[in-house]
Amino acid sequence: MLLQAVAASGAQPHPLSGTIAEWIWLLPLLPLLGFVINGLLSLNSAHFGPADPSTTTHDASSEGAAEASPVAHGEEPGAGADDNHSVKRHRWAGVTSIVGPGVLILSFGLAVAIWQVMASAHPEAPFIQRYFSWMPVGDLQIDAAIQLDQLSMVMVLVVTGVGALIHIFSVGYMRDDPGYPRYFSYLNLFVFFMLVLVLGGNYPVLFVGWEGVGLCSYLLIGFWFNDKQNADAGLKAFIVNRIGDFGFLVAMFMLFANIGVLDFVGVNAKALDLGAGSALVTTICLFMFLGCTGKSAQIPLYIWLPDAMAGPTPVSALIHAATMVTAGVYLIARSAALFSLSPVASLTVAVVGAVTAIFAATIGLKQWDIKKVLAYSTISQLGYMFVGVGVGAYVSGMFHLVTHSFFKALLFLGSGSVIQAMHNGYHATHSTEDAQDMRNMGGLRRYLPVTFVLMWIATLAISGIPLLSGFFSKDEILGSVFARAQGSTLSSASWLGIPGGTLLYIIYGIGLAAAFLTAVYMTRMMLYTFHGPTRTGSEEEKYLGEAPWVMTGPLVILGILTVIGGWLNLPKVVTDIVGVGPGELLAHFLDPVVGSATARITAGATEIPATTEEALIGAAVVIAVVGIIFAVARLKPANVPRARDAIPETGFEGVVAHKYYVDEALDRTVVEPTYVVSRSFLWRFVDNGVIDGLFVNGSAALARTFGWIGSRLQTGNTGIYAWSLVVGVLLLLGAITLR
C-alpha cells in the first residue's frame, strides 16, 4: 500500500511521506479496537448481583428507565451513606474504564504528533494514502483513501482531544450504569466513524463516516431504550437525518454525473468545469446543504436535536454539541471550492444559518430543562457557523467550530455534574422530581463550586465577552459578514430578488440580535441553576455535592481551553493594538485548503478600515454585556416556583415555551398524514389488498384453478386419452401441412 501511495503522488514525494503521518490509518483504528473490546465485554453477562439477595433492591436498569432523567448512580460519600441500594456495576467496568478512554488518549497523542510534523512541514498539497480500491465500477473509481490536510487535522484534533476529555468524564458519569461497556463501545465506534468522516479522501468515504456517526447517535440517544420516549427520540433523529442524507447522496450523484470524480482533489480541480454561478453548481450545493441541515440541525431539519437530549449527558456533549453536529460545517468547508462558485447557494447557507441562530435562541429563552437550553443554544451556535461558511469565511466558521466545541462541551459536561448531583439528591429521598428542571435547582453554587465557576466562564465565552474564545470566533464571523457586504461576489449576487449586499447587512443584524439573546438565555440558565435560594428540597440538599475528580478534571481542562482558545486565531486588529503574539494562526494554517475559495468569494471586497472593525467589535461587546445585565436585572431566581408548582406560560411566552409548536405542527401536517396514508392506503390497500390479496393469494388461486381444470381432464378412461392424442396429432399435422 505504501508503494501505491508513492506511485500515486508521482515522482515528487510528499513532505509528509516517510514521517509519522504514514501511521494515520492507526488513528481511526484505535477507537475501532476499543469498540471491539468493549463490545465483547458488553456481551458478557450483565452485572454483579446484589450483595445480599434478601435485601430489597432497586433494579438499576428498570428504575433508571422509568425516571424522567435517568442518570448513573453516583458515588459521592453522602449519596451512599444511608442508601442501601446496591449498585449494579458491570462485571468488566474496570477494564472498560481503561480501554474506553485509553484508546482515545492514544489517538489524541498520535494526532498531536502528526500535527507537529505537519505544522513544521506546512505542506501545500493534501497527504493522500490510498489503501485499496473500494468501488471500481466502469468510470467510477473509488478508493478507500485517507486525505490528511490542514482542515482534517483541525477536525481530528478536536474530535480526539475533546473526545478524550468527554470519555474521561464519562468514566465518572456512567461507571455504575449496568450498560457501561455497551456505552463505551458505542462511544468508541462513534469516534471511529467521526474520524473516517473527517479523514476520508473522497465523498463516498466521508459518507460512510457520515452515516456511521448517525448510527452511533441513534444508538446513544436511545441508550436507555427501556423508556419508549428515549427510543422514539433516537428514531426521530435517525429519520430526520435520512432526509438530509438523501440530499447529500443526490449531490454526490450529480457531481459524478457532471465531472466524473468524487475525490476531493479531483473535485477541487474540476469544480470550475461546472461553471461559476451556474444553475448546476447551485443545485449541487443546495442538495449538499440539505444534508448539512440534517446533520447539523439547521432549519428545517433541526427538530431532532432537542429530542436527542434523551441520551446520556456526555453523549450530548460529544455528539450533539462538540463533534458530530459540526460535520455539516466541515462538509461545506471541505466543499469550499464548490460553494465559492455559487453565490446563491452560499447566501442560502448564510440566511438559513442566521435564521436558525435567532430562531433557536428565542426558544432557548423559555426552556426549563437545562439540557434543552443547551440544545437550542447549540442549534443557534451552529447557525453562526453556517453564517460563517456561508459568507465564504471558511476559516471563521471552522474557528467558531473549534471554540464552540470547547465551551459547549464544558457547558454540557457541567450540566452533567449538576444533573448527577440533583439525581443523587432525589434518588436518596426516592423523590420523582425532575433532576434536569432548572426550577428544581437554584443556589447550586454552594454545593458545586468548581462547576459553578467553570460554567460561568463558558457562559461568558459563548456570550462573547472579550478575551474569551467565543468572543474572537463569533466576532470574526460577524466581521466577515459585514466586510463582504460591499464589493464581494456575494454582495453583487441577488438572492430571491434581494441584493446580496442588503441581505448581508440583514444577516449581520440578525447575528447581533442572536448574540444578545445568547447572552440573555445563557445568563438566565446560570441564574436559575446556581444563584438564588435552593429549591431542591431541604432533605435532598444534604446529598448535593461536587462530582469526583475524574469528572471535574476534564471540566477544568475544557475551562482552560475555553479561556485561551481565542488565541488560535487572534484577529489582526487586536494583535495590532495589543501587540501580542502572531495573529490569525488558524487562517494561515488552513490557507492551503480554503485559501483559494475564500479569495474567490472576497474578490473585489474592500478591506474594512480598522476603525470600523473596532466599532463592530465594540458593538458586539456592548450587546453581550447589555444582554447579561438585562438578564440579571429582569430575572429574579428567588421568585421562581418549583417545577411541580409552576404555572404554564400563556400568550406569546407560552408559544415560545412550546417551541413555536413546530413539533405539533409537523405532527399534524407530516407525521399524522403519513400514518393515515400508511395505515389506510399502504397497509390496508396496497399491502393487504394488492400484495397479499392479488399477488400472493391471487397467484395461489390461479394455480389452484388451472390445477382443477387439469385434474378434470384426467378421467382415468384410456379411450379418451387415445382420442385426444389422435385429435391432437391430426391438428398438428393439419397445422403443418395446411400452413
Partner 1 sequence: MLAESLALTAALFIIGVIGVLVHRNAIIIFMCVELMLTAVSLTFVAFSRFYGTAGQVFVVFAMTVSAAEAAVGLAIIIAIFRHRRTINLQDINLLKG
Contacts with 397 (C-beta within 8 Å, 6 or more apart), sequence order? 329, 332, 333, 385, 386, 387, 388, 389, 477
Smallest distance, partner 1 to C-beta of residue 711, A: 3
Binding of residue 706 to partner 1 (CB under 8 A): no
Which has the closest alpha carbon to 114: 219, 208, 15? 15
Out of 611, 639, 711, 737, point to the residue binding partner 1 (CB under 8 A).
711
Smallest distance, partner 1 to C-beta of residue 723, A: 6
Out of 701, 726, 731, 733, point to the residue binding partner 1 (CB under 8 A).
726
d(CA 484, CA 491): 7
Binding of residue 703 to partner 1 (CB under 8 A): no
Q: What are the residues facing 495 on neighbouring strands?
A: 498
SS (H, E, C) 135-196: EEECCEEEEEEEEECHHHHHHHHHHHHHHHHHHHHHHHHHCCCCCHHHHHHHHHHHHHHHHH
Phi (first) and psi of residue 298, to 5 degrees: -110, 160
How far lies 669's CA from each of 36, 484, 677, in Å? 43, 39, 12
Smallest distance, partner 1 to C-beta of residue 710, A: 7
End-to-end CA distance of the chain: 70
Out of 11, 718, 738, 739, point to the residue binding partner 1 (CB under 8 A).
718
Residue recorded with cell 435517525:
238
Contact region with partner 1 (CB under 8 A), list: 300-308, 374-382, 608-616, 706-714: 706-714
Smallest distance, partner 1 to C-beta of residue 699, A: 21
When the beta carbons of 648 and 719 are compared against partner 1, the nearer one is: 719
Contact region with partner 1 (CB under 8 A), list: 373-381, 403-411, 657-665, 709-717: 709-717
Contact region with partner 1 (CB under 8 A), list: 73-81, 521-529, 538-546, 722-730: 722-730
Smallest distance, partner 1 to C-beta of residue 698, A: 23
Smallest distance, partner 1 to C-beta of residue 721, A: 10
Out of 722, 731, 732, 733, point to the residue binding partner 1 (CB under 8 A).
722
Dihedral sign from CA coordinates of 411, 414, 416, 421: negative
Contact region with partner 1 (CB under 8 A), list: 95-103, 222-230, 390-398, 708-716: 708-716
Smallest distance, partner 1 to C-beta of residue 739, A: 21
Q: What are the residues facing 141 on neighbouring strands?
A: 136
Out of 716, 735, 737, 739, point to the residue binding partner 1 (CB under 8 A).
716
Binding of residue 737 to partner 1 (CB under 8 A): no
> How many other CB atoms are there within 10 angstroms of residue 124's CB atom?
13
> How many other CB atoms are there within 10 angstroms of residue 254's CB atom?
17
Task: Locate all alpha helices (DSSP H) within 579-650, ordered by sequence.
Answer: 585-602, 610-634
Binding of residue 736 to partner 1 (CB under 8 A): no
- Residues binding partner 1: what is the number (CB under 8 A)? 13
Q: What are the residues facing 133 on neighbouring strands?
A: 143
DSSP H or E run through 581: none
Q: What are the residues facing 494 on neighbouring strands?
A: 499
Smallest distance, partner 1 to C-beta of residue 716, A: 3
Out of 56, 496, 719, 735, point to the residue binding partner 1 (CB under 8 A).
719
Smallest distance, partner 1 to C-beta of residue 682, A: 41
Residue 343 in contact with residue 164, Cβ under 8 Å?
Answer: no
Residue recorded with cell 384410456:
718
Contact region with partner 1 (CB under 8 A), list: 366-374, 450-458, 527-535, 719-727: 719-727
The site for partner 1 (CB under 8 A) is made up of: 710-719, 722-723, 726
